[in-house]
Chains A and B, each alone.
Chain A
């Protein structure tokens, strides 16, 4: 259990990186609190796994330092960092039994056999493989194998942090839910620092206290699930979190007025925007009200997804999505109003903080 500091970490896989696009991981400067449960969320290829491997020491960052509890570990090997990591695809030791697989990380560190037995039995119970403990790991199914991998990550009680690299990809949905709750319970019980990489927002939002959203090699926002939903600091976060994602519409801002096509909306505050910046308005589909008043839209499609309906429409010649309650009325002459408090203004894809609102700046 440790506090992890990443100081100006950058990483490039090729030699001699010069321009920013040479870096798979652009500058990351961040502190992971001791005992925090973090999710690293982002699309494939955004640098999540790279960042994780840098923390565990499987990769040496091109630039920057890593500190565990204030101690520089940048040049320490994975073994010396005392980190546990679970990989996306199951890694098991074929010739060993399930029990020995779980005991392996402990025995390698010369933990007394009585302690090994206690820990292994506890973990084997948790992952539900007690009946298999004396069986060779080779013959197990893919999700049983992944549970062993998971178990090996959890079996050590003294680790600085446990890193998960999309560990539940090969596990079936019901078991996913069970294992995720067990991970959360384990986190509460032992207070491990946990970093959980995923591209599944549900997984990220349910697992973590803080979600770190990555996009194209950099961290675009760190926040609680609510912050990510209400105040996405980058249009990518708005688009990536939520289903459907946030509507982002090109707009021009004049004082506290926003012009969208032929329409004008009052913001209630005047965002400070550098001249020449590309400005956009972002609003979540949940905060658009469809009715007989407001600005006209043309509905192109209505998707019924059970408790809600998603209305796809054209607004000021741009496609938008609107979430309507399942028995919400869809008028023949549809018009929309935007919830003023839910509007975010973006300049060059980054959110412009609303300095007039208390705590509005993300």
Chain B
């Protein structure tokens, strides 16, 4: 069959292409450009090849930060996804409770990230923070500034407070789309509460859960603002995630080459992991 070519279409796409080029492609290419060159100022660049990539991949600093990222995302997903499902299952289905719950759930999502960081930074302070002061008064040793475990707990609790709502709202939307007849049929079939969840609610939530999982993974893997505000990457390097490390390298030390290489590696890791999750989760769906 003869395909018809209409070059006018290109003009239609052009504005978007220009916009995307300026907002994404050109900055990304600049980063690529930096990652393969070295500079000593004066706008003089020297070809560095893959040296920066090798450097980054061989540094303990990179692998340590990556491990922290993976651990953080792992813990976040392991808590937020089941917790989100649990809350969504127990939210009211009708009546005045619905808007009230939805607004309460949406509140944390509306707060800017650095404000969330500041809230928890103050909240956890031993001298003036409600949480830190109460813990101290109860005789519990808690100090996120110099205790690694406390710093992690603070970040994880904060992230759960901030983002579980997203999982809840997505799951709630998934649950709301299940027709009543399914629950009625399950009653007739004598299904237990667990069977209803396992065979009706979970399958119907599968798609939204996939989205929730990917969003939460990518966001938690890219976490920057909150640990930057709360712990500044400390104590020591205990909460220095890749993003914080990257900013330190790029802006703190002005090592543009290694920083560019690091950000490309970082980007590829997120892309790769998201792709793997997506493929695995959609494939298990397609199996018959």
* A interface residues, Cβ below 8 angstroms from B: 53, 56-58, 77-79, 83-85, 87-89, 91, 93-96, 104-105, 108-109, 135-136, 138-139, 149, 152-153
Contacts and interface: CB of A to CB of B under 8 A. Distances in A.
B203 interface: yes
Contact of A84 (B179, B188, B191): B188
B191 A139 contact: no
Contacts of A139: 288
B159 to A, nearest CB: 31
Given A91-B182, A108-B195, A85 B188 contact: yes
Interface of B is mostly: helix
Contacts of B199: 93, 95-96, 104
A83 B188 contact: yes
A95 B203 contact: yes
Contact of A79 (B182, B185, B190): B190
Interface in B139-169: none
A138 B181 contact: no
A94 B203 CA distance: 7
Nearest to A134: B288
A234 B189 CA distance: 38
B184 interface: yes
A87 B184 contact: yes
Q: Top 8 A-B pairs ranked by shortest CB distance? A: A91-B185, A108-B190, A105-B189, A78-B187, A136-B288, A93-B199, A85-B188, A95-B203
B200 interface: yes
Interface in B199-237: 199-200, 203-204
B288 A78 contact: no
Interface of A is mostly: mixed
Q: Interface range on chain B: under 10, 10 to 19, 20 to 34, or 35 or more?
A: 10 to 19
A105 B190 contact: yes
Nearest to B287: A136
Given A87-B181, A91-B181, A96-B199, A56 B191 contact: no
30 contacts: A56-B188, A57-B187, A58-B184, A58-B187, A58-B188, A78-B187, A78-B188, A79-B190, A83-B188, A87-B181, A89-B179, A91-B181, A91-B182, A91-B184, A91-B185, A93-B203, A95-B199, A95-B203, A104-B189, A104-B199, A105-B188, A108-B189, A108-B195, A109-B190, A135-B288, A136-B288, A138-B288, A139-B288, A152-B185, A153-B188
Contacts of B188: 56, 58, 78, 83-85, 105, 153
Contacts of A152: 185, 189
Interface of B: 179, 181-182, 184-185, 187-192, 195, 199-200, 203-204, 288
Most buried by A among B181, B185, B203: B185
Nearest to A135: B288
A130 B246 CA distance: 61
Given A95-B199, A96-B199, A108-B191, A149 B185 contact: yes
A86 to B, nearest CB: 9
Nearest to A138: B288
B162 to A, nearest CB: 32
Contacts of A136: 288
A183 to B, nearest CB: 17
A139 B192 CA distance: 25
Contact of B184 (A84, A85, A95, A153): A85
Most buried by A among B182, B188, B192: B188
A108 B182 contact: no
A88 B181 CA distance: 9
Nearest to B198: A95
A79 B191 CA distance: 8
Given A91-B182, A95-B199, A104-B199, 19 more contacts: A53-B184, A79-B190, A84-B188, A85-B184, A87-B181, A88-B181, A89-B179, A89-B181, A93-B199, A93-B203, A96-B199, A104-B189, A104-B195, A105-B190, A108-B189, A108-B191, A138-B288, A139-B288, A153-B188
Given A95-B203, A138-B288, A139-B288, A87 B191 contact: no
A51 to B, nearest CB: 15
Nearest to A85: B188
Nearest to B204: A94
Most buried by B among A57, A79, A89, A153: A79
A237 B288 CA distance: 49
